[in-house]
Structure 1
């Protein structure tokens, strides 16, 4: 588990069944009824208590419950499960609890979730455990499905039509050095939305570096992407990316990509997909070099590892082979290592690398950025 201990709930033995303890069971013995001589104030108080207990019982009936593999029970509201870690809000703690999905034996919920399975299928519905490792999913459309606990790779409680499906992150980096009065500032941000069969993402990254007697270095990236999930792990993907980089004399590089891919692994421990497609690349430069356009074949890989404690690792590689320019190759590579902190904060070490064997300025065929930053993520 992730910084969390299991919680034991008190139970009351009744009729050979374990039931939640009633908070006001001490108020009256079985069969007691307020007699005609009971003062009016007592009657009113008794009615208020009954109404309050009714509300509590109704609220309790709407909660979710987990049975852990060590037989502990947790009751509350399941908020999400991502990267193999489930988050649950309980009435007996101000802070949410996090539990490893692999440490859960059974889950019982009437909450509406966006549920993702290993085969790439996304369902809106509720989930409850059956015999053994089985789970039953009831979709909004009335469809009933059977899967296993291991098949479930993502849960997101749907509280609204839009915000319940979103996720976002932003991190900042700052470096100030006395030598040459160097100042460096970076920001990396992303926002995404998960639909039933598709996913959309937007990102913005900016780096500014300045020091005495040297021209300011600027690197700005912006892009958006859409992925549509097909059966059996296949998907279609499209993206539009913009890059401006003074190091490579790029005033603006615009790259549009379309392609298809396959999720080789999609579990609670890792995600790895491969794909291929085509891209159209348009470039304008800060030098006298003429603008150019080219069609390219592209291959890509995306890897995420998250079963390594509070650490997670993500890596993407795009390799481009020009179809209209002789012997031109380009590579975009990124590697991020993140360590989770309390309050949805994290620290991140990120590397971005760009290679072009036919750059605008001879000798500037590659550029890289290594950033250490602190950030915050939203995924509620």
Structure 2
């Protein structure tokens, strides 16, 4: 019995050693997993609770996270390493080079755990919307999906948005918008960016537009309530239209601004705008704008509203300079 008790005790300790632990001001201790931290709120899950705990960070007296984290600090600073609490309100971050830096908890704007197993560094989401109207048998389907990867120096995102609308006596409306985005961090605030975008829409008679681009970005601001980034570079356009005589290739410059705001606990807003003046075809300018608003629901579900605008001052069809889409739907996200 003594050996059995010792074995059970060691098993329990080893099990807890692989869990995150936090101690609160009211002396309670929670053992589980840190899901996320932003805007001063720590989301913490345990095996014995149906719902995640949402805890104000200033209510935590100590914290232990067994996985390495990407930590975003005020003044656009970033760190990668282990997070340990050394005294109330003070944390130490230990990097791979065994360098230890000490920060106030109030200086941390967000952090994200990064698993040593690559397959567990992926996150994703999918949401679907459908509308049907008896008049003219109108039906519209929208599908939006994302897949993301976060490593120490590499961050990548893949997105796919599809719209298919049909109704009697009217041409079908189809739109496909996708993007692959890869970023390589090389300093505290600077990063290299590579993208491949694809767009097809019937409104502008565009069969396909492939746009690979490369550039450099800088993190301008990072606080508990917002993120602001700026990037610029060069792109190459390959466009095919319904009218094949309009097919063309061109070289563009681009400047892009990304803004994320986290004002409320369960609400997030992201928006970005990219302006692309054509270098090889003087006088043409394209603008792409996106806005997404999400409200988190229990069990990793969410409600999303999104708006996308594409502008071309020299479209294939005169009068169709704009194409835009407004969508909403119910979605689900996962984290490996």
Tell me the TM-score normalized by structure 1.
0.81
Deviation of residue 96 (structure 1)? 3.0
What is the aligned counterpart of 1:161 among 117, 141, 145?
117
Question: Structure 1 residue runs of 4+, over 4 Å off?
Answer: 60-63
Structure with larger Rg: 1
Q: Once the two structures are superposed, what CA deviation does each residue of 1:166-224 show, in whole Å capped at 9, x if it has no partner?
A: 11111111010111100000101110111111201111111000000111111011221
Q: Root-mean-square deviation (CA), in Å?
A: 2.2
CA distance, structure 2, for counterparts of residue 86 and residue 60 of structure 1: 19
CA distance, structure 1, for counterparts of residue 114 and residue 253 of structure 2: 39
CA distance, structure 1, for counterparts of residue 195 and residue 215 of structure 2: 9
Query: Is residue 276 of structure 2 the alignment partner of residue 312 of structure 1?
Result: no
CA distance, structure 2, for counterparts of residue 110 and residue 290 of structure 1: 57
SS at match of 1:88: strand
Q: Once the two structures are superposed, what CA deviation does each residue of 1:271-302 show, in whole Å capped at 9, x if it has no partner?
A: 11122222111211012433112222211111
SS at match of 2:164: strand
CA distance, structure 2, for counterparts of residue 254 and residue 225 of structure 1: 14
Contact persistence 1:83–1:307 (CA under 8 A): no
CA distance, structure 2, for counterparts of residue 328 and residue 185 of structure 1: 32
Query: Is residue 40 of structure 2 the alignment partner of residue 81 of structure 1?
Result: no
* Alignment correspondent of 1:138: 94
Q: Once the two structures are superposed, what CA deviation does each residue of 1:99-153 show, in whole Å capped at 9, x if it has no partner?
A: 244x444332150222222345341x42112245321122344332323323434
Structure 2 portions without partners, runs of 5+ = none
Contact persistence 1:202–1:225 (CA under 8 A): yes
Task: Report the more deviating stretch, 318-327 or 177-186.
Answer: 318-327
CA distance, structure 2, for counterparts of residue 53 and residue 326 of structure 1: 74
SS at match of 1:364: coil
* Alignment correspondent of 2:142: 186
Tell me the TM-score normalized by structure 2.
0.90
* Alignment correspondent of 2:284: 328
- Equivalent residues in 2 for 1:222-301, closer than 5 Å: 222-301=178-257
SS at match of 1:289: helix
Flag the structure with higher strand content. 2
- Equivalent residues in 2 for 1:200-215, closer than 5 Å: 200-215=156-171
- Cα gap change, 1:106 to 1:236, in 2 (>3 Å): farther
* Alignment correspondent of 2:78: 121
SS at match of 2:224: coil
